[in-house]
Homo-oligomer: A and B are copies of this chain.
């Protein structure tokens, strides 16, 4: 399925009146902040690519190149107390919520002082104490029922809080997505569900994922509001999300927001994208890069100068440089930390009797020759 280079920001069910958009209220500083988070996302991912090539990243690397507006613009519509549930391509949203490059780098390098102490990979981590984002699991769709429950608790306690959960075009096919959004719909939970339609689920184009013409068409089947927007226009993303968040806050229930975007990199770094027409990727890169588009807006409408852009860039690079050094210097986890914290009680599992010396076991068994050759 060849996708057009630009997606019109169609909106259904509710319409964003151009005359008064929520983003009109954003200050120049806030707009620069949106820009900064998008750049921070991209530069951090680029740093991760470099580290990946140096084999300093353990496991796969996932990019959100070209989708930064969708993650950043939507998360920006939340208050700090609101809870966000990110997916693998929502690094930008996590950064907005306060995740730090240092955390991300440590996490990707499997370090012992990473947010999950080396237990989970890439950006599978969260913080529900202060910053209010939740660590995802791999099983697609599962976060939707979880966020239905998170937001149900807000409703039960009369808390003025909202939840936001992302779901990929591909993951809308899961039963968990269906059960969760339907449940939230019935309960009128204060929840925003963002379908990130980036055209592909791994190698699978959208038309093999569903016969629906557009994902926003699913809203009516759940009796919830539905709206579609250009996911590569950070202000449009902010607008529709903010309206959905406000609706949730007013007690008017769930909104399904479909953001049209495009996955310019492979599913993960090792994926050669053989299934994506090169011209399609190129067209999106040239004509519809969310950062380029926003730079234009900032320059033309807000007179942001080269100097300002350069100083943001310098700050970002310095931040990531420092974080990289710190992350590299971080220790790997202590093996026996693996036994801690499966349960609150007992807090520690006793070690197995046959495991005397961990390090030696590891050393003498890591990829022995007798296991055959490993080609990748």
Binding site for B on A (CB under 8 A): 173-179, 182-183, 185-186, 188, 207-213, 217-224, 253
The CA-CA distance from A174 to B177 in the complex, in Å, is 10
| A170–chain B nearest beta-carbon distance, Å | 11
B173, B179, B183, B223: which contacts A182 (Cβ < 8 A)? B173
| A142–chain B nearest beta-carbon distance, Å | 11
Task: Please state the number of chain copies in the assembly.
Answer: 2
| A285–chain B nearest beta-carbon distance, Å | 29
Q: Which residues of B contact A175 (CB under 8 A)?
A: 174-176, 178-179
| A191–chain B nearest beta-carbon distance, Å | 12
Q: Which residues of B contact A213 (CB under 8 A)?
A: 223
| A197–chain B nearest beta-carbon distance, Å | 14
Q: Cβ of A212 and Cβ of B221 under 8 Å apart?
A: yes
Q: Which residues of B contact A176 (CB under 8 A)?
A: 175
Contact A185/B173 with A178-B178, A220-B217, A221-B221 known, Cβ cut-off 8 Å: no
The CA-CA distance from A179 to B178 in the complex, in Å, is 9
The CA-CA distance from A183 to B183 in the complex, in Å, is 22
Q: Which residues of B contact A174 (CB under 8 A)?
A: 175, 179
Q: Which residues of B contact A210 (CB under 8 A)?
A: 182, 185-186, 222-223
| A227–chain B nearest beta-carbon distance, Å | 15
| A193–chain B nearest beta-carbon distance, Å | 13
Q: Which residues of B contact A182 (CB under 8 A)?
A: 173, 210-211
Interface SS majority for chain A:
helix
Q: Which residues of B contact A183 (CB under 8 A)?
A: 173
Q: Given contacts A212-B223, A217-B223, A219-B221, list 4 more A-B pairs with CB under 8 A.
A: A173-B178, A174-B179, A177-B178, A212-B221
The CA-CA distance from A176 to B176 in the complex, in Å, is 9
| A172–chain B nearest beta-carbon distance, Å | 8
Instruction: Give the most central of A176, A207, A219, A221: most B CB within 10 Å.
Output: A221
Q: Which residues of B contact A224 (CB under 8 A)?
A: 211
Q: A207's closest neighbor in chain B, by CB?
A: B186
Q: A219's closest neighbor in chain B, by CB?
A: B221
Q: Cβ of A211 and Cβ of B253 under 8 Å apart?
A: yes
Q: Which residues of B contact A179 (CB under 8 A)?
A: 173-175, 178
Q: A208's closest neighbor in chain B, by CB?
A: B186
Q: A224's closest neighbor in chain B, by CB?
A: B211
Q: Which residues of B contact A221 (CB under 8 A)?
A: 212, 217-221
Q: A141's closest neighbor in chain B, by CB?
A: B175
The CA-CA distance from A121 to B143 in the complex, in Å, is 37
B177, B186, B188, B207: which contacts A209 (Cβ < 8 A)? B186
Q: A180's closest neighbor in chain B, by CB?
A: B175
The CA-CA distance from A221 to B185 in the complex, in Å, is 15
The CA-CA distance from A176 to B207 in the complex, in Å, is 20
The CA-CA distance from A302 to B224 in the complex, in Å, is 46
| A14–chain B nearest beta-carbon distance, Å | 16
The CA-CA distance from A243 to B209 in the complex, in Å, is 26
Q: Cβ of B208 and Cβ of A212 under 8 Å apart?
A: no
Q: Cβ of B222 and Cβ of A211 under 8 Å apart?
A: yes
